[in-house]
Every structure is written in C-alpha cells, then in structure tokens.
C-alpha cells in the first residue's frame, strides 16, 4: 500500500483514585509518520511493587530493533525478570503488553499479553483483536503478565488495514469505564486519545487510564 501515513494521539493519566500512574506508552507523545510504525500500551500490575518500573522497562524495549513483535515481548519479559532477580524489593512486579506494528504493506501485527486491548474501527465496524487474560470470575487477576514467568504464551494476530481505519490501544482503566458502543461511537467521531481519556476521567475511574489512537490516512 503506497504512501500510507499514520497520525496518532497518546494520553495516560493517573486518575483520581490511584496514587501513581503505573501505565506506560510507546510512543510517549502524539505525532505523525509514514509506515512502518510501532506502538504499545503497558499496564503495570496495580498493588504490586514497582509496577511502574515494569511498564517502563517494557516500553523502553520498543526503542530497540528486533525482527518481529513476539521478540519484543520476549525481550521485555526477560529484562523484567532479570530486574527482579537483581532487586529483592521488586519481587512480584509485572506488566501487561499490547504492542502493534503497521508494516509497509499496511498489515497490522499485534502481540499481546495480559488484559490491555487493541481495537480496530474499519468500515464502521469495531473489531477487538485481543483476548483478555483474566482468571475466570476475577476481573483484576491476570493469568499471565510480563515478569511473572520466564516463558509466556503470547497472543498474535494480523489484520490488513485500509486508509480511514482507526486503531485503539488502551488499558483496562479505560474500557472498564465505558462500553464498546461508546468506544465505537467516539472513534467514528474522530476523537483524540486526549479527549477520550479526559471523558473517562469525568467518571472517577478507579484505575490509571491510558489510550493510543492511530488514524491511518
């Protein structure tokens, strides 16, 4: 797909309840570029020691150069596990990771661990590309996260994008406060991540709230 360009917006807020923001994003600021383009959201495990360190480690790995997204997740997991081994006060820390790469042909590649999400709005249809990895009956307990075990079962998915499509990456602090119909409506309206997160904050969310919105043009 020739001359494919992306314009993205990024917003991450602590929210009114949590004392610190354990979410992280890549990239950290809004912008525009031609493809290929990579992005990711990371939700440090709330209530665990140094969740913000885990999410920051995972997001920093996105600056490195690997052949595929699965390797990014594996390397991030290794770095977090190594950090725990060298820092006794960090035992039990972890993070989700939902990362995407839009390649030169316009294919969206997704690699995912945890319960953050990736949505695509295409031809007025909202598509959820990730599956939440929560213990059945326990919404806030993850089956796996980066830093919790050496070998992860990494979800992957590919989808051909077209001009006009919109990609949303978000943490559970966002989607737990608003339904998918609301998300679909707002993406159709062309909302930015800044405005979407601001609208969620009006509902006094219990968690950190993070979103990246990528417009394919």
DSSP states along the chain:
-TT-EEEEEEEEE--SS-SS--EEEESSS-EEEESSEEEEEEEB-TTSTTHHHHHHHHHHHTTS--SSHHHHHHHHHHHHHHHHHH-GGGTT--B-EEEEEE-TTSEEEEEEESS-EEEEEETTEEEE-----EETTEEEEES--BTS-SS---EEEEEE--TT-EEEEE-HHHHTTS-HHHHHHHHHTT--HHHHHHHHHTT--SS-EEEEEEEE-
Residue of 120, 216, 114 whose CA lies nearest to 173: 114
For 64, phi and psi rounded to 5 degrees? -85, 175
pLDDT at 207: 95
pLDDT at 46: 53
pLDDT at 89: 83
For 75, phi and psi rounded to 5 degrees? -70, -40
- Token representation of residue 134: 């929560």
Superfamily of 5-216 according to CATH:
PPM-type phosphatase domain (3.60.40.10)
Q: Would you write out the chain's pLDDT as a tens digit for each of its 217 residues?
A: 567 999 999 999 999 999 999 999 999 999 999 999 999 999 998 555 689 999 999 999 999 999 999 999 999 999 999 999 998 888 889 999 999 999 999 999 999 999 999 999 999 999 999 999 999 998 889 999 999 999 999 999 999 999 999 999 999 999 999 999 999 999 999 999 999 999 999 999 999 999 999 999 9
- Token representation of residue 13: 């807020």
């Amino acid at each position: 797909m020739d001359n494919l360009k992306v314009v993205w917006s990024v917003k991450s807020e602590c929210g009114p309840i949590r004392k610190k923001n354990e979410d992280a994003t890549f990239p950290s600021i809004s912008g525009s570029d031609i493809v290929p383009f990579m992005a990711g959201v990371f939700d440090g495990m709330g209530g665990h020691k140094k969740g913000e360190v885990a999410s920051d480690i995972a997001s920093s790995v996105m600056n490195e150069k690997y052949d595929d997204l699965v390797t990014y997740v594996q390397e991030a997991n290794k770095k977090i596990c190594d950090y725990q081994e060298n820092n006794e006060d960090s035992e039990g820390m972890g993070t989700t990771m939902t990362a995407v790469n839009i390649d030169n042909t316009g294919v969206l590649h997704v690699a995912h661990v945890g319960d953050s999400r990736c949505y695509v709005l295409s031809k007025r249809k909202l598509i959820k590309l990730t599956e939440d990895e929560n213990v059945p009956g326990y919404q806030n307990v993850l089956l796996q996260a980066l830093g919790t075990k050496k070998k992860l079962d990494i979800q992957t998915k590919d989808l051909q994008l077209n001009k006009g499509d919109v990609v949303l990456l978000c943490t559970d602090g966002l989607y737990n406060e608003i339904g998918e119909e609301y998300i679909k409506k707002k993406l159709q309206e062309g909302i930015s991540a800044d405005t979407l997160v601001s609208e969620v904050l009006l509902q006094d969310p219990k968690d950190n709230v993070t979103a990246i919105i990528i417009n394919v043009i």
